[in-house]
Amino acid sequence: MAKVDTFWFKHDYNARNDEKILELRSLHGAEAYGVYWMIVETMADNDNGGIKANLIGGLSHGYGVAKGRLQEIIECCISVELFYEKDGYYFSKRMLRHKDERKLYSENGKQGAEKRWGGYRPPNAEQRRGEKIIGISFEENFALLSDGTKQRLGTSQLFRLQQGDLKPKDVIKGQIL
């Protein structure tokens, strides 16, 4: 369940005053508000956007909340329509919308990259590290790379070249500064 990547999701700055949240807090106190957000964060972490109903014990341990107390809070969230249950999972409609938006943004980003780059993919940092600068031409404003390609020097690189401060490690293939 733990991921290396971390993302954000929309959170209204006045969520504590939402009528459903106020009802949750009136029945279970401020602790329930914190537990609610821990559940929502867990939902965000999971690929399907929900939490498995029969695995509440592990979440209880992770949250530091008694299992019975956690179940009470979840049931309250269902009764005030913050969550719903389907196919053995608890979901939040809002979190599912957020995850759909993220997926759409990602797909649109990939399409945009495909339009911009075509079949070409800019080299990642690991690929660039292997390229060695074998020469820098001041007159022609380019660096000659070990793979035989040339790369135009950027404004800041040209300035550093004039100052005698440009080193081959300062020129990265695919990046013009």
Give me the pLDDT at residue 125, please: 44
Q: Where in the chain is the domain with CATH 1.10.10.10?
A: 15-99
Give me the pLDDT at residue 157, please: 75
* Cα 66-69-71 angle, rounded to 5 deg: 110
Question: Which residues in the chain show pLDDT less than 70?
Answer: 1-10, 113, 116-140, 144-148, 167-177
- The length of the chain, given as a count of residues: 177
For the domain covering 15-99, report its CATH number.
1.10.10.10
Give me the pLDDT at residue 83, please: 95
Dihedral sign, CA of 94, 99, 105, 111? negative
Give me the pLDDT at residue 128, please: 47
Give me the pLDDT at residue 17, please: 86
